[in-house]
A = this chain, B = another copy of it.
């Protein structure tokens, strides 16, 4: 699995929304500036996230985006799959399973790639956006400055 700029932007934006969860909507302009993400590019990404059911929007003046579920209920794996496709290094889980089952000349290779896919999934499908928030704050508290994410 490889995370594109698009995917990285999506993750960063969702983290911003996670930190602001329960405080109403956040505008893209603000996130775009804070995170250094090209505004119009971010708009497109948000449409995909909305169609994927991760965020909901409020149109018009004072509009913006917010998470459609609580940060605990959204995993990194779900985000990455939505934006960048399957976690497997080759094809996807069911394709790999099929290739292993077929017992062809490279079934051993595919079996290991399936292991890799499962290892990635074990991490990314378990880590929620909230877990990342907590982890980030913990990392910050070890340092001198307190964590701040004001939009």
Residues of A near any B CB (own CB < 8 A): 1-3, 8, 11-12, 15, 76, 80, 89-90, 100, 103, 105-109, 111-113, 115-116, 119-120, 122-124, 127, 131-140, 142-143, 145, 149
5 extra interchain contacts, Cβ-Cβ under 8 A, other than A2-B89, A3-B89? A103-B143, A108-B132, A108-B139, A112-B132, A119-B119
The A interface is mostly helix, strand or loop, or mixed, namely helix
Are B116 and A112 in contact, CB atoms less than 8 angstroms apart? Answer: no
**20 interchain pairs, CB-CB under 8 A:** A1-B116, A12-B109, A15-B106, A15-B109, A76-B112, A103-B139, A103-B142, A103-B143, A105-B149, A107-B139, A108-B131, A108-B132, A108-B134, A108-B136, A109-B136, A112-B124, A112-B131, A119-B120, A119-B122, A120-B120
Are B124 and A116 in contact, CB atoms less than 8 angstroms apart? Answer: yes
Are A116 and B109 in contact, CB atoms less than 8 angstroms apart? Answer: no
Chain B neighbourhood of A124, CB < 8 A = 112, 116
